[in-house]
Chain A
Amino acid sequence: MSADERFKGYRGPARALLERENVGVWSDVEVATSRGPFAGIILPRSEQADDRHLVIKLRNGYNVGLATNLVERITEIGRREAHYKIPEKEFPFDPGRPRVKLIGTGGTIASRLDYRTGAVIPAFSPGELYGSVPELADICNLETEKLYAVFSENMGPEQWLGTARAIASEMNKGVAGIVVGHGTDTMHHTAGVLSFMLQNLPAPVVIVGSQRSSDRPSSDAALNLIHATRTAAWGDIAEVMVCMFGPTSDEYGLLHRGTRVRKMHSSYRSTFRTLGDIPLARVDRKGVYPLRDDYHRRGASPKVHLADHFDDRVSIVYYYPGMKPDVIDALIDHGYRGIVIAGTGLGHVNKPLYPALKRAQEAKVAIFMTVQTLWGYVQMYVYDTGRDMMALGVVPAANMLPEVAYMKLGWALGKTDDLEEIGRIMLTPVAGEITAREPFDGYLIYQGGIPEIEAFLKGVLR
Chain B
Amino acid sequence: MRDLPNPDFLQEGFPLGDLIPPARRIPRPLYLSAEEYAALGLKCGIEVHQQLLTAGKLFCRCPARRYSLDHHASVLRHMRPTLSELGEYDGTALMEFKTKKNITYMLNRESVCTYEMDDTPPFPMDQRALQIAIEIALVLRCRMVSEIHIARKQYLDGSIPTGFQRTTIVGVEGMVPFGDRAIRIIQLGLEEDACREVSDRGHDRYYRTDRLGMPLIETVTYPELFTPWEAVWFGQLHRLLLRTTGKVRRGIGAARQDVNVSVAGGRRVEIKGVERIPLWGPLIHYEALRQRGLLSLRDEASRRGNPAQWLTTTVPVDPGTVSTLLPPSWDTAKPMAVVVLPGFRSLLAWPLGGTRTFAHEISDRVRVVACIDRPNLVHSDDVPEAWTALRSLAGAGEDDALVLLGGNEEDLVTACREVADRCREAWDGVPSETRQVLPDGTTGFERILPGPDRMYPDTDLPPIEVPPERIESVQRDLPMPPWERANRLRAAGLSTRSAGYLARRRDATAVFRVLTNSGRDLSEALVQAFVAMWDSGGNRDERVACQVIEAACDGVIHPKAMPALFHLLRAKPHDDYEALAREHGLSLLSADDIGPMIAEELSEGKKEGLFVRIMKRLGPRVQAHTVLDLLEDQGVAP
| Residues in A lying within 8 Å of B, measured CB to CB | 33, 35-36, 38, 46, 48-50, 53, 55, 57-67, 70, 80, 82-87, 112-113, 118-120, 132, 211-212, 214-219, 222-223, 247-251, 265, 267-269, 448-449, 454, 457-458, 462
Interface centre among A60, A120, A214, A454 (most CB of B within 10 A): A60
15 A-B contacts, Cβ less than 8 Å apart?
A36-B143, A36-B173, A38-B143, A60-B169, A61-B452, A62-B151, A63-B169, A84-B83, A87-B89, A119-B459, A218-B163, A267-B121, A268-B120, A448-B73, A462-B74
Q: Is B617's CB within 8 Å of the partner chain A? A: no
Check A53–B119 contact: CB distance below 8 A: no
Contact A218 to B149, CB < 8 A, known contacts A82-B87, A113-B459, A118-B457: no
Nearest residue (CB) in A for B461 is A118
Check A62–B119 contact: CB distance below 8 A: no
Check B82–A63 contact: CB distance below 8 A: no
Check B82–A216 contact: CB distance below 8 A: yes
- Residues from chain A with Cβ under 8 Å of B456 in the complex: 113, 215
Per-position binary interface string of chain B over residues 29-72, scored 1 when its CB falls under 8 Å from any chain A CB and 0 otherwise? 00000000000000000000000000000000000000000011
Check B118–A218 contact: CB distance below 8 A: yes
Check A66–B146 contact: CB distance below 8 A: yes
Contact A118 to B459, CB < 8 A, known contacts A70-B146, A214-B82: yes
**Besides A61-B455, A62-B189, A458-B71, 6 new A-B residue pairs in contact (Cβ under 8 A), listed by A number:** A65-B145, A218-B161, A250-B77, A250-B78, A457-B72, A458-B73
Docked CA distance A53–B104 (Å): 41
Partner of A49, one of B85, B146, B463: B463
Check B80–A248 contact: CB distance below 8 A: no
Contact A62 to B76, CB < 8 A, known contacts A35-B144, A82-B86, A217-B156: no
Contact A219 to B187, CB < 8 A, known contacts A65-B463, A113-B457: no
Partner of A218, one of B71, B77, B87: B77
Check A458–B83 contact: CB distance below 8 A: no
Nearest residue (CB) in B for A70 is B146
Partner of A267, one of B114, B143, B146: B114
Check A62–B149 contact: CB distance below 8 A: yes
Contact A113 to B169, CB < 8 A, known contacts A119-B459, A267-B114, A458-B74: no
- Residues from chain B with Cβ under 8 Å of A70 in the complex: 146
Nearest residue (CB) in A for B97 is A217
Docked CA distance A82–B76 (Å): 34
Interface centre among A48, A86, A113, A120 (most CB of B within 10 A): A113
Interface centre among B73, B118, B119, B451 (most CB of A within 10 A): B73
Check B80–A217 contact: CB distance below 8 A: yes
Check A216–B152 contact: CB distance below 8 A: yes
- Minimum CB–CB distance from A419 to chain B (whole Å) comes to 45
Check A249–B75 contact: CB distance below 8 A: yes
Check B76–A251 contact: CB distance below 8 A: yes
- Residues from chain B with Cβ under 8 Å of A250 in the complex: 76-78
Secondary structure of the A side of the interface? loop
Check B83–A86 contact: CB distance below 8 A: yes
Q: Is B573's CB within 8 Å of the partner chain A? A: no
Nearest residue (CB) in A for B468 is A67
Docked CA distance A382–B468 (Å): 67
- Residues from chain B with Cβ under 8 Å of A82 in the complex: 85-87
Q: Is B117's CB within 8 Å of the partner chain A? A: yes
- Minimum CB–CB distance from A365 to chain B (whole Å) comes to 40
- Residues from chain B with Cβ under 8 Å of A217 in the complex: 79-82, 93, 154, 156, 162-164
- Residues from chain B with Cβ under 8 Å of A119 in the complex: 459
- Minimum CB–CB distance from A218 to chain B (whole Å) comes to 4
Check B121–A62 contact: CB distance below 8 A: no
Contact A216 to B163, CB < 8 A, known contacts A65-B148, A66-B147, A86-B83: yes
Contact A62 to B169, CB < 8 A, known contacts A215-B456, A216-B163, A454-B72: yes
Interface centre among B109, B161, B463 (most CB of A within 10 A): B463
- Residues from chain A with Cβ under 8 Å of B163 in the complex: 216-218
- Minimum CB–CB distance from B59 to chain A (whole Å) comes to 14
Number of B residues whose C-beta is below 8 Å from A? 63
Check B82–A457 contact: CB distance below 8 A: no
Docked CA distance A57–B451 (Å): 14
- Minimum CB–CB distance from B170 to chain A (whole Å) comes to 9
Check B73–A61 contact: CB distance below 8 A: no
Partner of B85, one of A57, A85, A449, A454: A57
- Residues from chain A with Cβ under 8 Å of B376 in the complex: none
Check B114–A268 contact: CB distance below 8 A: yes
| 9 closest A-B pairs by CB | A65-B147, A217-B163, A61-B452, A61-B455, A67-B146, A249-B76, A84-B87, A64-B145, A63-B149
Check A53–B463 contact: CB distance below 8 A: yes
Check A55–B80 contact: CB distance below 8 A: no
Q: Is B462's CB within 8 Å of the partner chain A? A: yes
Nearest residue (CB) in A for B150 is A63
- Residues from chain B with Cβ under 8 Å of A87 in the complex: 89
Docked CA distance A223–B76 (Å): 13
- Residues from chain A with Cβ under 8 Å of B148 in the complex: 64-65
Check B117–A248 contact: CB distance below 8 A: yes
Q: Is B621's CB within 8 Å of the partner chain A? A: no
Nearest residue (CB) in B for A83 is B87
Docked CA distance A78–B148 (Å): 25
Docked CA distance A48–B121 (Å): 20
- Residues from chain A with Cβ under 8 Å of B109 in the complex: 449
- Residues from chain B with Cβ under 8 Å of A66 in the complex: 145-147
- Residues from chain B with Cβ under 8 Å of A454 in the complex: 72-73
Docked CA distance A458–B84 (Å): 36
Docked CA distance A449–B74 (Å): 14
- CB neighbors of A among B118-154 (8 A): 118-121, 143-149, 151-154
Docked CA distance A223–B77 (Å): 11
Docked CA distance A458–B104 (Å): 12
Partner of A112, one of B80, B83, B454, B455: B83
Check A267–B77 contact: CB distance below 8 A: no
- Residues from chain B with Cβ under 8 Å of A85 in the complex: 83, 87
- Residues from chain A with Cβ under 8 Å of B468 in the complex: 67
Nearest residue (CB) in A for B106 is A458
- Residues from chain A with Cβ under 8 Å of B453 in the complex: 61
- Minimum CB–CB distance from A71 to chain B (whole Å) comes to 10
- Residues from chain B with Cβ under 8 Å of A214 in the complex: 82
Q: Is B442's CB within 8 Å of the partner chain A? A: no
Q: Is B295's CB within 8 Å of the partner chain A? A: no
Q: Is B168's CB within 8 Å of the partner chain A? A: yes
Docked CA distance A248–B116 (Å): 13
Contact A67 to B83, CB < 8 A, known contacts A49-B462, A216-B162, A218-B162: no
Nearest residue (CB) in A for B189 is A62
Check B87–A462 contact: CB distance below 8 A: no
Check B149–A267 contact: CB distance below 8 A: no
Docked CA distance A70–B455 (Å): 26
Docked CA distance A233–B546 (Å): 81
Docked CA distance A123–B173 (Å): 38
Check B80–A222 contact: CB distance below 8 A: yes
- Residues from chain A with Cβ under 8 Å of B76 in the complex: 249-251, 462
Partner of A80, one of B82, B86, B172, B454: B86
Contact A120 to B459, CB < 8 A, known contacts A66-B146, A112-B83, A217-B162: yes
- Minimum CB–CB distance from A119 to chain B (whole Å) comes to 6
Docked CA distance A64–B464 (Å): 10
- Minimum CB–CB distance from A66 to chain B (whole Å) comes to 5
Check A212–B457 contact: CB distance below 8 A: no
- Minimum CB–CB distance from B451 to chain A (whole Å) comes to 8
Check A63–B151 contact: CB distance below 8 A: yes
Nearest residue (CB) in A for B153 is A61
- Residues from chain B with Cβ under 8 Å of A132 in the complex: 80
- CB neighbors of A among B331-367 (8 A): none
- Residues from chain A with Cβ under 8 Å of B463 in the complex: 49, 53, 55, 65
Docked CA distance A215–B143 (Å): 32
Docked CA distance A250–B78 (Å): 7
Nearest residue (CB) in A for B464 is A65
Check B457–A63 contact: CB distance below 8 A: yes
Nearest residue (CB) in A for B467 is A67
- Minimum CB–CB distance from A88 to chain B (whole Å) comes to 12
